[in-house]
Structure 1
Amino acid sequence: MINSELLGKRILYITPKFFGYENEIKQALINEFGASVDFYDDRPSNDIWTKVFIRLQLKSLVKRKIDSYYEAIFHYIQEKVYDYILIVSPETLSQKELKIIKSLQPQAKFILYMWDSFKNKNSLHLINMFDRVLSFDDRDVEKYNLYFCPLFYSENYKNVLSKGVMTYDLCSIATAHSDRYKIITQIKNQLEESSFKIFSFLYLPSKLMYWVRKIFLKRYQYGNISDFSFYPMTQAEVVSIMSKSKTILDINHPAQHGLTMRTFEAFGMHKKLITTNVNIKKYDFYNEANILIIDRKKIIIDSKFMNTPYVFLSKELYEKYSLNRWLKYVFDCR
């Protein structure tokens, strides 16, 4: 039986689609908390040009599309009465659209959660329009007086037990941004020289993006086009590969201080982690037997770390970073 402060509550949920995580949050709110949820993508379309224009702050080039999209949302929600408006890491939503939503839903509690740093998202000007603002980035939390709320792992990554011998010593499944390609290539070459088995998957949304980055972002190394996939792995495929791997690789964005989703997925699956994010030392689940921090500018992988077993932690720690616990904190449920 569902026992939750969110039981029967109506929630309007807006966020950019992001590898299916938005649907996991929606389904948990419905199935685990008994809420009624209406979900809308923050972006009017996920075609490559719309995403590029929005991320490069060239929204004027798709203004008509954005306006038409949000007008349709306004038309739908004007007949609804929501208890909560949850916005997660918006890219398209502006003060103009948010003011209209607030005028249509004056009784609702407005919540903003950022799973990206404000350096990477142009959303800082929105925070005063929300009743509760949370971030995964402790620097942003301290600077802007927000609530600190790390990311989570979903049920799909919880206690996934692998049977038999591991297929891979290390797996890396990532979107190719910043210096990730360079770092992954160095790690792969270093470990393969020591006969470790590596699974590497680098995703880019389109071949156009590959060529733009290769030509114009010369400070980053982008190898051959065959080194990248232009179709993302399904979550089931990601879980399958991770379950067959001893260790998971995480390379955070250089401008990002908070811990990535991959970090918590590895934690939920009881996997060892190699990461470039030194900030992980501040977290209560940090254990040097399970987590190896590397310098992205001088990569050295300790083979001893690769060969030692995972050390299990307390049940309470694993529960603390679950999706359900994350939702309770986001909605300030007791």
Structure 2
Amino acid sequence: MKICIISFDYWNYDHHIVKKLQEKGIDASHINMGAYKYKNFGERASNAISKIFLNKNIKHVKRQEYVVNTLKKLGPQDQILVLNPHTLDYQTIKEIKSYTPYLISYLYDNLERFPVEDRLKLFDKIYSFEDKDVKKYGFEKITNYNYLSEQPIQAEEIENDLFYITSYDKRRIKLLRKLTVRLSALEVRSKIIVVGKQVWKEKLRNFILRPVGSALIEFRKKPINNETILEEYKKSKVIIDLMREGQAGLSFRVFEAMALGKKIITDNQSIQTYDFFKPENFLIVNDDLSNIENQFFTLSYQRIPTSLYQKYSLNHWVDHIFGISSTFESKNMISSY
């Protein structure tokens, strides 16, 4: 069986899918649009001029050409999975479809943020993590997955009560301002990092106003690699997970916390509807954050049953998305000897 994954792997999550498929004896490939780079300075300069004067992003076009050219080299596929197709136009997806009898998409952002309704009819199957999109468009619901471990990872030495890293987002920043005031009052050992090109605005605001709790936040322009983030998670008791505007689906933080045995503070009300929810492990904040108390940081994380843990594993996710049966895996294991 040949399966190809096409994505813009922003946070280096998608390659785990390919690796898991290969472990199962499947000929799996990954076309990562994020891997496309400018060939030279001239191409970079040409694209900058094009965006300014023609409102056209040549790099966007080149990335799609890269996808199609790579797929030509790989040849026909039994299945192709496109993760978040907003980075591809209609014609490109149509050409991708010509290489497989079964084209799948998984939407891990809602259609309000990335409207791609005009392209969805090209897919044979669409999965989504967002309940409202599932209900409105008839997609199949599936969450993100635990890519870290088939068994919970043992906790390491704790340095912080709380850790949070987020990209710059107006809604999150607004809530974060209130959160740091509350954390300061509780004297919670915290490490909070905000990343993005717009962080200078918040740095300037904090310099001028010097609000309570502002010293808890570190601002960075460049992103931090996922391995470093995971190390910070391991050294903390609690992870914060704040939603984007209009989002209700579960982020990867929930599953990283599950693997590492970490508790979560979140504003995602929908999390209490999931079968792994335990009030000892999740604190859903109220509007003024007054329900954040020291006790949440002192009580231990409560492990979930093994069957539930494995339900949200990457192994289970891959089997479900691609319809891989245990019979297929057994045959491939035998043929490998």
8 A Cα contact 2:33 2:63, kept in partner: no
Q: Quickly say closer, same or farther: Cα 1:33–1:298, change in 2 above 3 A.
A: farther
Alignment pair present for 1:91 and 2:82: no
Cross-structure match for 2:59: 65
Distance 2:119 2:10 in 1: 21
Contact 2:155 2:261 in 1 (8 A): no
User: Whose radius of gyration is greater, 1 or 2?
Assistant: 2
CA shift at 1:63, angstroms?
4.8
- Spell out, residue by residue over 1:274-298, the C-alpha distance to the aligned partner (whole angstroms, 9 max, x if none): 1100001110011111111013x32
1:256 paired residue number: 247
Counterpart CA distance in 1 for 2:138 and 2:288 is 34
Name whichever of 192-201 and 71-80 sits farther off.
71-80
Q: Does 1:126 align with 2:119?
A: yes
Which residue, out of 139, 153, 164, partners 1:160? 153
What pairs up with 1:123-272 in 2 under 5 angstroms?
Answer: 123-155=116-148, 159-164=152-157, 166-204=158-196, 206=197, 209-210=198-199, 227-272=218-263
Post-superposition offset of 1:307:
1.8
Residue 238 of structure 1, CA deviation: 1.3
Letter in 1 for 2:240: L
TM-score normalized by the length of structure 1? 0.81
Counterpart residue identity of residue 97, structure 1: T
What secondary structure, in the 3-state scheme, does the structure 1 residue paired with 2:20 have?
helix
Q: Which residue of 19, 29, 45 corresponds with 2:21?
A: 29
| Contact in 2 for aligned 1:152/1:261 (Cα 8 Å) | yes
Q: AA paired with 2:244?
A: H
Q: Deviations over 1:76-106 (max 9, x none)?
A: 4235111111100123211111112223x1x
- Structure with bigger helix share is 2
Supply the distance in 2 between the matched residues of 1:214 and 1:125 (Cα, whole angstroms).
40
CA offsets 1:126-158 (integer angstroms, 9 cap, x no match): 221111100011111111101100111212695
Letter in 2 for 1:74: V
Displacement of 1:44 in angstroms is 5.6
What CA distance in whole angstroms lies between the structure 1 residues aligned with 2:144 and 2:183?
A: 29
Letter in 1 for 2:288: K
Question: Is the contact between residue 160 and residue 189 of structure 2 (CA under 8 Å) also seen in structure 1?
Answer: yes
TM-score if structure 2 supplies the norm length?
Answer: 0.81
Correspondence 1:282 to 2:273: yes
Q: Which amino acid aligns with 2:234?
A: S
| Contact 1:42–1:91 under 8 Å retained in 2 | no
Other-structure match for 2:33: 41
Once the two structures are TM-superposed, the CA of residue 212 in structure 1 deviates from its matched residue by 8.0
Confirm or deny that 1:298 pairs with 2:291: no
Q: For the Cα contact (< 8 Å) 2:4–2:77, is it kept in 1?
A: yes
**Native 8 Å contact 1:16 1:42 kept in 2:** yes
- Preserved CA contact (<8 Å) 1:44 1:66: no
CA deviation map 1:91-125 (0-9, x unaligned): 3211111112223x1x4310000011111112222
The alignment covers a number of residue pairs equal to: 303
The alpha carbon displacement at 1:231 in A equals: 2.1
- Report deviation, 1:304: 2.1
Report the Cα distance in structure 1 between the residues aligned to 2:279 and 2:61, rounded to whole angstroms: 50
Cα gap change, 1:69/1:187 in structure 2, threshold over 3 Å: closer, same or farther?
A: closer
Q: 1:82 aligns with which of 77, 95, 100?
A: 77
Q: Distance in 2 between matches of 1:291 and 1:118?
A: 27
* CA apart distance, 1:213: 9.1
Gaps of 5+ in 1: 1-8, 216-220
- Alpha-carbon contact 2:31-2:67 (below 8 Å) kept: no
